[in-house]
Amino acid sequence: MPTRVPLILGAGSFGVPNTNTTRIHTLPEAQAVVDRFLSYGQNGIDTSRSYGYGTSEEFLGKLDLHGSLVDTKIPPKEPGGFAPDKIRASFQASLKALGPHKIRVFYLHYPDRSDKHVPFEDTLREINELHKSGQIQEFGLSNFFAWEVAEFVGIARANGWIQPTVYQGRYNALDRAIEPELIPCLRKYGIRFYAYSPLAGGLLAGRNISDDGVVDAPGSRWDPTASSIAPVFYKFYGPVFPVLRELKDVADKRGIKLAEVAHRWLQHHSALGPNDGVLLGVSNVGHVDANIKYSEGGPLPDDALKLLDDAWAKARNLVLPYGKRRILLAVLHS
């Protein structure tokens, strides 16, 4: 059964051990995940030059993707990281790592807001050359503000260059910061939106939550002794814990998993449409099955929707800006 909003496989979990975001560390495991995802008729695989310090792309380059194209991203690894020569070098590294696979969308992963940032025009000129040479199909932006998106579009139109056609950003039932400003901007310019962090950093995966925090946190990103980002999660999501406990009770009574609530909200009650997408971050084949099954479900009952709206009302003045800096990027891709 097709989902209303298409799904994209996030390959940020692929790569060697002890690197950022990776949880699938062998090629057979990664191949099994890809095969299962594609078996549902979904099509689209997302990665970044930064995931697994480059090993996510290297894993994909050794897998059979059955003709699927790959979306990848370039991060500004240093101030001035979007200079034309650095874009070209990063792109060539991605191309080499991905081996036989073609690049569909080439994203700027997040803004370079340093004192040495490169003018957008210089960056876009180089990306346009990649497009003219047939090496990429589309240009995308991720984690930029709406005004920055509009500036890229204006530069592209003025010069007859490739325009951004995809935007990837953080979006879930507990974090709707993109809705007032970014979504109208994207709709105006015909840009698709791909949502990452559908489970709010794992909070909507059904974790056991008490008044003091996440009970089943040891060793996870929610464990303050094991994760430097845990205090950030608690700061921004802590106020919604009581509502989430109530929501989990409602879901349990209806035989619905909290993760299913999250995915069904994105499919039927969010600002997303059939031309947009939702990224799935998975650790095993079982996660693929579960998340796709959840996404195929219908609209949510009214009591669950009300609790999600209540949770957002508590979180809306606390969540991170949708256009952000590097420090908080990797932790929310789940």
139 forms bridges with which residues in the sheet? 106, 164
Catalytic residue among 51, 167, 171, 322: 51
Cα angle 178-37-276, degrees, rounded to a multiple of 5: 25
Residue 230, Cβ density class (10 Å: 0-12 exposed, 13-18 middle, ≥19 buried): buried
Q: Which residues share a beta bridge with 73?
A: 107
CA distance 260 to 300: 10
Instruction: Mention every residue, 6+ apart, whose C-beta is less than 8 A from residue 261.
Output: 173, 204, 247, 251, 300, 304, 308
User: Would you call 51 a catalytic residue per the annotation?
Assistant: yes
CA angle 239, 233, 167 (to 5 degrees): 110
Side chain identity, residue 167: Y
Q: Does the CA dihedral 302-305-310-311 come out positive or negative?
A: positive
Helix (H) or strand (E) holding 139: strand 136-142
Phi, psi of 267 (to 5 degrees): -70, -35
Cα–Cα distance, 75 to 304 (Å, whole number): 38
CA 144 to chain centre: 13
Q: Which helix (H) or strand (E) holds 147?
A: helix 146-159
CB within 8 A of 298, min separation 6: which ones?
264, 268
Which residues have a catalytic role annotated?
51
